[in-house]
Copies of this chain bind each other. A is one copy, B any other.
Amino acid sequence: MSGVSGAERLARVVLSRIGEPGDPRLTDLVHELGGSLVLASLREQASDRELGADLAERLAATDPVQELERADRQAIRFVVPGDDEWPEMLDDLAHAPHLHERGGVPVGLWCRGKLRLDEASEHAVAVVGSRSATTYGADVAGSIAATLARATWSVVSGAAYGIDQAAHRGALAARGPTVAVLACGADRAYPAGHKSLIDYIADVGLVVSEAAPGCSPTRIRFLARNRVIAGLSRGAVVVEAAVRSGALNTASWAGGLGRPVMAVPGPVTSAPSAGVHQLIRARDALLVTSGEEVLEAVGPVGLFTLEDPREPESLRDRLATRERQVLDAVPLRQAADSGSIARTAGLAHGRTKEALLVLHRAGLVEHSLGRWRVAMDEDPV
């Protein structure tokens, strides 16, 4: 089901094939005017002998009907704005600032997999990070992804080595939905070592690309791809990122979209955490330590509100005020007599002695030779 005309869809196929992902000269115009009009204008431009020779050749070489048939044989569908499956949240990209001369709403997305794009992104969080992750980072990414998956939130990432793959695998292990957004065509696998992971994601989740099938990954396509990861998510979590890392680019896209940017800290001695710490220091990201805290930041208000983590209530918490005052006045090391404790506590001697008995029964103070001290050499504060 779709409100998109056949001509408009075919025009967008041509534009997707001849244009670069996220080229704002194309995406902004198409979002504003539609694919058919923009394509017609390009054909006009191609008729200019000076400017248009190469363009004319590319237009002539592209048969959108064949493109769709070939994609269909690879189980790839082309989803465009107006389709039931198109996620409205992607249209927010029309108003997000361009980064690295990329931006705008994709003219369409090539999708491979059984999940519907709109459903897979309705409750989705991007979990991204360094390719050269540490085992610490990979463990935390996997654990956050698993928590999201158990709450039936999708995990969106880039299928790269390191944090990305740990995030996808964490979601898959918890049998949750996961979406891999690629910089190459949805029929290909980059990195090649993740071919079976990417194929598995297509089996049970969704593989998405703005680049047409067959396209190679290039640096500029990674930058455009990061914007789609952010666009398909309610918020982005960066787990480990060196000072210059693509994950920080994804965080910038999420920030530009006004969506929560979260970051997981690590040891300050670990280079893959340096970019994350910079994000938090600059107040560009909220520090998160768990999937629950991620859900609290992106979830409907109130649904996932966490209690601040607290130690279990201690024996001390259950004491009456007077007993606590007396306990506070009992020396930690060198025992004191009850009179001196009463003076320190500022309480009458008799009441102090009563309280000492209660504390003794509770095992909180020790008594020997008429003197008292705190029972355990625990943290005094």
Contact = CB atoms under 8 A, between A and B. Distances in A.
B222 A380 contact: yes
A156 interface: no
B380 A140 contact: no
A249 B381 CA distance: 9
A207 B269 CA distance: 31
Interface string A360-381: 0000000000000000000111
Q: Which of A54, A274, A286 has the most CB of B within 10 A?
A: A54
Contacts of A268: 140, 264-266, 289-290
A334 B216 contact: yes
A277 interface: yes
A329 B20 CA distance: 10
A88 to B, nearest CB: 27
Nearest to A327: B219
Contacts of A243: 308-311
Given A328-B219, A336-B216, A280 B287 contact: yes
Contacts of A132: 379
A310 B242 CA distance: 9
Interface in A207-263: 216-220, 222-223, 226, 242-246, 249
Given A265-B268, A265-B287, A267-B266, A381 B333 contact: no
Contacts of A280: 265, 280, 287
Contacts of A342: 54
B310 A381 contact: no
Given A226-B381, A246-B380, A309 B269 contact: no
A331 interface: yes
Nearest to A316: B219
Nearest to A132: B379
A139 B269 CA distance: 10
Contact of A329 (B220, B267, B278, B327): B220
Q: Which of A20, A269, A278, A332 has the most CB of B within 10 A?
A: A332
A268 B288 CA distance: 9
A269 B380 contact: no
A131 interface: yes
B242 A311 contact: yes
Nearest to A226: B381
A344 interface: yes
A136 interface: yes
Interface of A: 18, 20, 23, 54, 58, 131-132, 136, 139-140, 183, 190-192, 216-220, 222-223, 226, 242-246, 249, 264-269, 273-274, 277-278, 280-281, 286-290, 293, 308-311, 327-334, 336, 342-344, 346, 348-349, 379-381
CB-CB nearest 6 A-B residue pairs: A246-B381, A265-B265, A216-B331, A268-B289, A220-B328, A222-B381
Given A216-B333, A249-B381, 10 more contacts: A20-B346, A136-B269, A218-B330, A220-B329, A226-B381, A245-B381, A265-B280, A268-B289, A280-B280, A287-B287
